[in-house]
Amino acid sequence: MLVAGVRRLVVIYAAIVAVTVVLSAGVGLLAGSSLARALAVGFYVAGAVLLLGCFVFGVRGPLRGEARTGEGAGLVGARRVRRATTDERSEATRTAILLFAFGISLVILGSLLDPAHTTF
């Protein structure tokens, strides 16, 4: 079961890296930038987005909103508030930690590829 979970995480990380490479290479080609610089900036941006997601999941409080069913107010209307279960809080914490690890690793990968700065 642990091996299957690690395999899923590797697939998710590889998909994030692949999408980042394709998008940043395309934008870099359109902008006339070098491939290494475009990839570095793409990894910086992707890492920053994941770190922002880490912050959003990390600062969630112990209360959760529930939309009332059967009313047309949807997102804007009044909601009931309930306490989050222990499972919901631990899942939010694990998600924040995972996003932090992925985000930091992408920023480090971008810094290794960045031709504007030397690593050592």
51 touches 95 (CB < 8 A): no
Q: b vs e for 36-73, b when ≥16 Cβ sit within 10 Å of the residue's Cβ?
A: ebbbbbbbbbbbeebbebbeebeeeeeebeeeeeeeee
Q: Dump pLDDT digits (tens) for 23-51.
A: 999 999 999 999 999 999 999 999 999 99
Alpha-carbon Rg for the chain, nearest whole angstrom, is 19
Distances in whole angstroms, Cα of residue 25 to Cα of each of 22, 35, 51: 5, 6, 22
Other CB atoms within 10 Å distance of the CB of residue 7: 10
3-class DSSP assignment, residue 85: coil
pTM higher than 0.75, yes or no?
A: yes
Q: Dump pLDDT digits (tens) for 67-120.
A: 666 555 555 665 688 888 999 899 999 999 999 999 999 999 999 998 888 766
